């Protein structure tokens, strides 16, 4: 299982600043000096798409491949390397800021930045290719996915960012990508703010309103503050609502002006009738967590780590996981299932392709539903030696 690592800011005896007047190669040099990796030569150009597979206000996304075979997303600015006009300088500075903040993150629920590159004459950020797309798209195609488990993982990602001084600034379903194993991962750090910079940026992008209105806290819409941790919590609550319902916040209102008026006057989204767990008690607790995130007073909003703790208390006795292996779950999904039922996973990440009998293993030997306790299991001829310890029980899986 991938473990998260705290951000360890580099020590710098002099202030380094990236400005719009700085040429591209100098920006890249500063980024590399502060921990960003240039992987331009690692791209297998013959396996990279010539035309973008997605576009947005920031630029274009191409599908590519590294020389060792990993599929990657190449996020390029539309600014040509070497551009000297003001718009070009502004976008290069924005990209440099995003790369720098993103490069400091290492957590299972934050999309990994592999490195930066020059692709088709443009600055690019390279990350793993996420075949399942963003959360909004994924939910529309996966009605039976465990949405509550995904909420918990998204909260874990936000808690990690906040613990390391990072304000995301644009949390929403479109900025959460989903892995093949249904792991949600936060992405898009273009508006993020990092509290401990060793590299400074002129005119940083922490004050503009680029976040989607429906996820934006009232104090930010009213221009009473810039991006804040509390603003992230507000957006997190809206994103969890979107995750549970599959619909955007205030989906009954198509007029953005109406939505702004509701947010700035403290009117919350309507409570969904059917999307939470069967227990009305737990549904009330979850809805209370959501509404706490939307408190009009930013100081009354809970911290991400508090939200994670509250949701995990609910999760252990109530989450409806299928028996391991019944739905042909992948190894990582099995480990996630075990984790949320109290087991501590300390083994290295198994390779499903190397051990193809894993699914059969799960069907024949392991059953775990709801709050049942796994007392003991000894399984032969399936996985290499690994240990997974729960609170009151241990599973020793070994091969002979």
Instruction: Report the pLDDT value the prediction gives residue 257, as an integer from 0 to 100.
Output: 93
9 located within any domain: no
Say what the pLDDT of residue 16 is.
52
Q: Is residue 370 part of a domain?
A: yes
Query: In terms of pLDDT, which residue wins out, 6 or 249?
Result: 249
Asked if residue 250 and residue 208 are part of one domain, the reply reads yes
Mean pLDDT of 141-154: 93
Of the candidate ranges 260-264, 289-293, 343-347, 393-397, the one whose mean pLDDT is the lowest: 393-397
Q: Rounded to whole angstroms, how far apart are CA atoms 230 and 219? A: 10
Q: What is the pLDDT at residue 343?
A: 67
394 bridge partner residues: 376, 389
Q: Is the pLDDT of residue 260 over 70?
A: yes
Are 170 and 235 a contacting pair, CB within 8 Å?
yes
Mean pLDDT in residue range 208-222: 82
Mean pLDDT of 223-246: 95
Rounded CA separation 3/106 (Å) = 8
The last residue of one of the domains, among 98, 113, 128, is 128
Identify the CATH number of the domain in which residue 283 sits.
Answer: 1.10.510.10
Domain edge (last residue) among 266, 284, 318: 318
Least confident of 53-67, 130-144, 152-166: 53-67
Rounded to the nearest integer, the mean pLDDT of the chain is: 73
226 has a pLDDT exceeding 70: yes
Confidence of residue 88 (pLDDT cuts 50, 70, 90): low
Average pLDDT over residues 230-246: 96
Q: Of the ranges 191-200, 307-316, 327-336, which one carries the lowest mean pLDDT score?
A: 191-200
**pLDDT exceeds cutoff 80 at 76:** yes
CA 384/CA 96 separation, integer angstroms? 43
- If asked whether residues 99 and 143 sit together in one domain, one would say no
Do 147 and 280 belong to one domain?
A: yes
335 and 385 share one domain: yes
The rounded distance, in Å, linking the Cα atoms of 21 and 93 is 9
70 within domain boundaries: yes
Given a cut of 50, whether residue 68 has pLDDT beyond it is yes
| pLDDT of res. 178 | 96
Same domain assignment for residues 338 and 203: no
In a domain, 200, yes or no: yes
Domain contains 6: no
In this structure, the answer to whether residues 25 and 50 fall within a common structural domain is: yes
User: The domain spanning residue 63 has which CATH number?
Assistant: 3.30.200.20
Domain boundary among 128, 157, 183: 128
pLDDT band at 335 (very low <50, low <70, confident <90, very high): low
Tell me the range of 106-110, 330-334, 363-367 where mean pLDDT is highest.
106-110
Residues 385 and 366 in one domain: yes
Q: Check whether residue 140 and residue 254 sit in a common domain.
A: yes
User: Does the pLDDT at position 202 exceed 50?
Assistant: no
Report the domain count for the chain. Answer: 3
Residue 115 structural domain: 16-128
Residue 2 domain-assigned?
no
């Amino acid at each position: 299982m991938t473990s998260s690592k705290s951000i360890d800011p580099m020590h710098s005896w002099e202030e380094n600043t990236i400005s719009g007047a700085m040429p591209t190669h100098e920006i890249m040099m500063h980024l590399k000096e502060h921990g960003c990796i240039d992987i331009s030569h690692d791209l297998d150009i013959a396996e990279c798409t010539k035309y973008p597979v997605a576009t947005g206000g920031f630029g274009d996304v191409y599908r590519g491949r590294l020389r060792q075979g990993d599929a990657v997303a190449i996020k390029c600015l539309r600014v040509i390397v070497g551009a000297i006009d003001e718009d070009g300088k502004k976008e290069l500075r924005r990209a440099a800021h995003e790369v720098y903040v993103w490069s400091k993150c290492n957590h299972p629920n934050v999309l990994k930045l592999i490195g930066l590159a020059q692709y088709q004459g443009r600055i690019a950020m390279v990350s793993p290719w996420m075949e399942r797309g963003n959360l909004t798209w994924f939910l529309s195609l996966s009605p039976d996915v465990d949405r509550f488990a995904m909420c918990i993982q998204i909260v874990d990602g936000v808690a990690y960012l906040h613990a390391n001084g990072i304000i995301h600034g644009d949390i929403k379903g479109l900025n959460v990508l989903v892995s093949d194993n249904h792991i949600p991962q936060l992405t898009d750090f273009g508006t993020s703010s990092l509290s401990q910079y060793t590299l400074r940026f002129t005119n940083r992008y922490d004050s503009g309103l680029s976040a989607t209105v429906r996820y934006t806290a009232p104090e930010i819409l009213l221009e009473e503050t810039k991006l804040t941790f509390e603003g992230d919590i507000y957006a997190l609550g809206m994103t969890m609502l979107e995750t549970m319902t599959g619909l955007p916040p205030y989906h009954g209102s198509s007029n953005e002006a109406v939505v702004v008026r509701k947010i700035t006057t403290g009117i919350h989204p309507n409570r969904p009738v059917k999307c939470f767990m069967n227990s009305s008690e737990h549904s009330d607790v979850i809805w209370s967590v959501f509404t706490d995130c939307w408190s009009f007073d930013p100081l009354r909003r809970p911290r991400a780590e508090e939200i994670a703790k509250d949701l995990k208390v609910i999760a252990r006795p109530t989450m409806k996981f299928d028996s391991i292996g019944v739905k042909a779950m992948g190894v990582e999904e099995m480990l996630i299932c075990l984790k949320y039922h109290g087991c501590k996973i300390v083994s290295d990440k198994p390779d499903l392709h190397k051990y193809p009998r894993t699914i059969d293993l799960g069907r024949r030997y392991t059953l775990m539903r709801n709050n049942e306790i796994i007392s003991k299991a000894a399984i032969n001829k399936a996985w290499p030696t690994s240990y997974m310890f729960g609170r009151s029980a241990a599973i020793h899986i070994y091969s002979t």
